Structure 1
Amino acid sequence: MENTMPTATATATATTARPNRRRDRLLTVLAGAAATLLGWVVAVPLAGVELAARTGSATQRVTPVAVVLSTLLAGLAGWALLALLERVTGRARTAWTVVAMLVLVLSVLGPLGGGVGRAATATLVVLHLVAGAVLITGLRRTTAR
């Protein structure tokens, strides 16, 4: 009888931990999108930054929809990679963090070369850093230690 109690407790804990992990990851992705949207609101309507980026030979305005969708896509991609790494390696947290940091560094290069004007470039870099900070710290916290 003593042997079955810890097993039942461990099973119950594992069962309840999984939905919490999913919930926490979803909330992290949504928080990243909310944070970048807030950054866009502060920069564009409130501060008056003309937020635009060069895409090839054209110039494109950066809309709140684009900000939210790109952050959601980045967050979901990060979540998917983290889930995959958790299945294939015992060092998922470390591997994922290294990859996520490299992706963040590479993502910042886009605005540095594509922002239209100093204010737009600075704003886009800050939006990338905000998204990275929220997503990396939040998703990293959901991994097993």
Structure 2
Amino acid sequence: MTTLTQTTSSRALTVAAAVLAPVALWIAVVPVAGIDLEAQGRRVGVAPVIIGSLLPALAAWALLAVLERRTGRARAIWTAVAVLALALSLGGPLGAATAAAGAALAAMHLLVGAIVILGLRRR
């Protein structure tokens, strides 16, 4: 397998993990624990969890790929942007209807962020 193929495969697996992990957490929180995930007046179902983790993970991968082609400091720049994006995303759970919902939503954000940042940074 070539290095490019290995990198692509590794990054695709990272994106898949970044989607599957919060879905697993959603399953544990909503149907199993019975916590109602509601934020900003909207119930958070599994579809928003999938879309809300897939799109940022793909955008992160695309940004890293562009930076790798244009600068020698791609990982450092990308990591700073990714950490900032994660920090800003944590504002969303502040609008949760309950503390339990807020904690679960914040955990999902942190889970996706950790998987994406650590997974995409790997060589």
Decide: shared fold, TM above 0.5: yes
1:9 aligned residue: none
1:7 aligned residue: none
SS at match of 1:21: helix
Report deviation, 1:109. Answer: 1.1
Letter in 2 for 1:36: P
Report deviation, 1:118. Answer: 0.7
Report deviation, 1:38. Answer: 0.6
1:63 aligns with 2:45: yes
Report percent identity of matched pairs.
48
Instruction: Identify the match of residue 112 of structure 2 among 131, 136, 140.
Output: 131
2:83 aligned residue: 101
Q: For 1:75 and 1:140, locate their aligned partners in 2 and report how far apart those are by CA, in whole Å.
A: 12
1:122 aligns with 2:103: yes
1:76 aligns with 2:58: yes
Stretches of 4+ moved more than 2 A in 1?
A: none
Structure whose alpha-carbon radius of gyration is higher: 1
1:140 aligned residue: 121
TM-score (norm 2): 0.96
Instruction: Identify the match of residue 17 of structure 2 among 31, 54, 66.
Output: 31
TM-score (norm 1): 0.82
Q: For 2:92 and 2:59, locate their aligned partners in 1 and report how far apart those are by CA, in whole Å.
A: 18
Higher relative contact order (CA 8 A, sep 6+): 2
Report deviation, 1:69. Answer: 1.2
Give the gaps of 5 or more residues in structure 2. none
> How do 1:46-61 residues align onto structure 2 when only pairs under 5 Å count?
46-54=32-40, 59-61=41-43
How many corresponding residue pairs?
Answer: 123
Q: For 2:28 and 2:59, locate their aligned partners in 1 and report how far apart those are by CA, in whole Å.
A: 26
Q: For 1:108 and 1:116, locate their aligned partners in 2 and report how far apart those are by CA, in whole Å.
A: 15
Q: For 1:124 and 1:45, locate their aligned partners in 2 and report how far apart those are by CA, in whole Å.
A: 15
What CA RMSD, in Å, does the superposition of the two structures yield over aligned residues?
1.0
Report deviation, 1:92. Answer: 0.5
Superposed CA offset, 1:29-60 (max 9, x none) = 00010001011011111111100111xxxx11
Give the gaps of 5 or more residues in structure 1. 1-14
